[in-house]
Amino acid sequence: MDFSWNEEEREFRGRVQQFLEQYWDRTAGERAMGDARKFERQLAEHGWLTMAWPEAYGGRDATHVEQMIFREEATLHEAPTGGMGPSMIGPCLIVHGTEEQKQEHLPPIAAGESRWCQGFSEPGSGSDLASLQTRAVRDGDDWVINGQKIWTSGAQHASWIHILTRTDPDAPKHRGISYFMLDMKTPGIAIRPIEQMHGAKGFNETFFEDVRVPHKNMIGDENRGWYAATTTLDFERSGAHRAAAVQRAFDRNFDYARQADSAGTGHRIVDHDPSRLAFADTHIEIDVGRTFGYRVGWMQGNGLVPNYEASMSKAFNSELTQRQARRAINMFGLYGGLVAGSARAPLDGAVGQEYMSTVSSTIAAGTSEVQRNIIATRGLGLPRG
């Protein structure tokens, strides 16, 4: 089988690399959200944020493979890619949205103007998402929402939220859910940040009190929102970017480990046998993980909807981020756990930071157990456990 890129794809990758190297300084450290948004608008001007979308909605009618190359390169360069709009809710609207919804929401996403967050999880509903309790009740042309979401990533920066609500409490749980889009400025929405163990405040609790949303903002049919939301989840679990993120960390660690006296004992880290073998293991696994991601991209480009294939890619690559972080912290020894700012922290604490931040990678977007359940039922045809 020939896995090589064609001439146009190679040329496109070169152009993206050149642009990122010229305009995005990956060594700049922590930046203000405004810098990322500004850069996303530059990407949007090139049509790169949503390049595989139809031109009518602000895309470029490019291939999914090109879109995947862009996201892969952006991840390797630690550059922003537009968040959930281009990667989750936009693709879901292309499949399930009305023409009016597509006209209203896709162009601002493509232009980098709107930013989205996801209101799915609740304090009592994560893996068993269909048990969610946030209620929406019809009132004329509106629905009125009451309830609470949790782990809402980036709600503090979002202009819109896509949210699952219960609209028929008497129906079987998957069949009483409706899916809405809500302007975050709607009265009655309140957010409270949650601080993580490594200091970031990436996600929030989000509260809804008598929040009114027009019926036209419902995605898919009433009480059938679950089926549109699973499309969003399939897109969330897709992509070659997870393997690219591991590659980026690998490259950084490998460069450091080859420097003279990187082990601090007069030797290099790579002269130590277990470290050499650990690098070799990660090198093999990145290739495997990347191929999972490419398969999903190829399926999307050929009009197929990846489902258990997206779960395979997500499970493997999110676990790989943890294996890579664990191997790194072991090979960097006690210094590897030092935090940023410490004079003795190798790579300014990046290894320890990554070790802590990757803990969540097998929980976000559905846990590894949930992905394995999907693979067992939809991939292998086994009955539900």
Ligand X SMILES: Cc1cc2nc3c(=O)[nH]c(=O)nc-3n(C[C@H](O)[C@H](O)[C@H](O)COP(=O)(O)OP(=O)(O)OC[C@H]3O[C@@H](n4cnc5c(N)ncnc54)[C@H](O)[C@@H]3O)c2cc1C
Interface with ligand X (CB under 6 A): 117-121, 126-127, 151-153, 203, 360, 363-364, 366-367, 369-370, 373
Q: Which residue, 196 or 330, has its beta carbon nearer to ligand X?
A: 196
Q: How many CB atoms lie within 10 A of CB 21?
A: 12
- Work out how close the CB of 4 gets to ligand X at its nearest, in angstroms, rounded to a whole number: 35
Q: Which residue, 151 or 256, has its beta carbon nearer to ligand X?
A: 151
Residue of minimal Cβ distance to ligand X: 126
- Alpha helices, DSSP H only, in the chain? 7-23, 33-45, 64-76, 84, 90-96, 99-110, 225-236, 241-257, 273-301, 308-332, 350-357, 368-374
Determine phi and psi for 337, rounding to 5 degrees. Answer: -85, -5
**Residue 364: its H or E element:** none
Cα distance between residue 325 and residue 340, in whole Å: 16
Residues 6+ apart with CB under 8 A from 210: 144, 145, 146, 188
Q: Which residues make beta-bridge pairs with 274?
A: none
- Work out how close the CB of 106 gets to ligand X at its nearest, in angstroms, rounded to a whole number: 20
- Work out how close the CB of 373 gets to ligand X at its nearest, in angstroms, rounded to a whole number: 6
- Work out how close the CB of 124 gets to ligand X at its nearest, in angstroms, rounded to a whole number: 8
Q: What does the block give as tokens for 100? A: 């009016």
Q: Which residue, 198 or 272, has its beta carbon nearer to ligand X?
A: 198
Cα distance between residue 66 and residue 132, in whole Å: 37
Q: Which residue, 231 or 262, has its beta carbon nearer to ligand X?
A: 231
- Work out how close the CB of 157 gets to ligand X at its nearest, in angstroms, rounded to a whole number: 12
Q: Which of 120, 121, 99, 117 is nearest to 109 (CA)?
A: 117
- Work out how close the CB of 173 gets to ligand X at its nearest, in angstroms, rounded to a whole number: 14
- Work out how close the CB of 321 gets to ligand X at its nearest, in angstroms, rounded to a whole number: 12
Name the E strands within 128-271.
135-139, 142-149, 160-166, 177-183, 189-194, 203-214, 218-219
Q: Which residue, 163 or 257, has its beta carbon nearer to ligand X?
A: 163
Q: Which residue, 129 or 263, has its beta carbon nearer to ligand X?
A: 129
Q: Which residue, 275 or 373, has its beta carbon nearer to ligand X?
A: 373
